[in-house]
A and B are shown apart, each in its own frame.
Chain A
Amino acid sequence: MEQAPPNPRVFLITGSRKGIGAYLVNHYLAQGHQVVGCSRKESEQKSPNYRHFCLDVSDEDAVKQMFAAISDSYGRLDVLVNNAGIASMNHLLLSSAQTAREIIETNFMGTFLMCREAARLMRKGHFGRIINFASVATPLKLEGEAIYAASKAAVLSFTQIAAREFADFGITVNAVAPTPIETDLIRSVPREKLDQLVSRQAVKRLGEMRDVANVTDFFIRPESDFITGQVLFLGGV
């Protein structure tokens, strides 16, 4: 087993201003960890153990600057949670190229840039836990979510290969694939569509943020050093 870093650990959670990201920030702050977050807008999180960066996760220069600041301030990074993501539900025939690009940029390029920079920092301590966000939209082949599901399929494939390439550095890379959870991401999805989706799950209920935290808790445990390249679909999808 790899030597786990001492507590408190240093976390980076992207898309941390609201939704699942904000929930995970509070979850890990409550456990006494140091948490860095980022989003396009300012955060309302006031904990002295929290530091926020305003950036677009697909902006390479901004991402590099944030990691330089993390390296200067904390000297290491133990956990990266790549939560930032956007969605746009629309029929393919009506989808704009601009919207498609934005989804790919945020969901895939953002994940790639964060993983690369995080692994460069994590390798120095020969320990790291990276958790990406896939989606049940990919295996369920949701109509109206073609671009979003494709971006998450890219994240899934990327996760499995990154796990192999980072293993020699003591870094695990896994993904959690949530079902719909009551957040802004699904606000525009009609209730009827959500009900149809939930009916295709083994456990027929909307996901909750604690369901996601349960998975991230599992992936980051020191004892989970033999678990990498895995994608955990919630709700029995």
Chain B
Amino acid sequence: MSNQERVETAVYKAVDELNKQLPKGSHVEKSLDAVLYGKSGKLESIDVVTLIMEVEDQIKAEFGTAITIADDKAMSQENSPFSTLGTLTKYVAELLNENGASPA
């Protein structure tokens, strides 16, 4: 499995954990196109917080690296990393690269 696939797998595991806490009609689809936050997103802000914590936990378990996803850098991005699962996965891979975990 490539490192990129490992990141995607970790993110999807985080989605599984989030979905356990959501009513069925609000489940997040495991697709890179799944919208998280914004006009067409169906997640509450607290659900996004939960997903981010779950992703951090899964990345720590998979790569042994502690990352902080929601920092000032994430908030100042022109395109929010929290728009879709795809943008979140891409941003997490970038963070891992910066931390020397070489996911890409």
Interface on A for B, CB 8 Å cutoff?
Answer: 64, 120, 123, 168
Contacts and interface: CB of A to CB of B under 8 A. Distances in A.
Contacts of B46: 168
Interface string B62-87: 00001000000000000000000000
B34 interface: no
A91 to B, nearest CB: 37
A8 B50 CA distance: 28
A120 B66 contact: no
B77 to A, nearest CB: 23
B53 interface: yes
Label chain B's interface by main secondary structure.
helix
Contacts of B50: 123
A105 to B, nearest CB: 20
A101 B53 CA distance: 30
Determine which residue in A64, A120, A168 has the highest number of CB atoms from chain B within 10 A of its CB, and name it.
Answer: A168
B48 to A, nearest CB: 12
Interface string B51-67: 00100000000000010
5 contacts: A64-B66, A120-B53, A123-B50, A123-B53, A168-B46
A65 to B, nearest CB: 10
Contacts of A64: 66
Contacts of A120: 53
A168 B48 CA distance: 13
Nearest to B47: A168
A64 B67 CA distance: 12
A120 B46 CA distance: 13
Nearest to A120: B53
The 5 closest A-B pairs by CB, nearest first: A168-B46, A120-B53, A64-B66, A123-B53, A123-B50
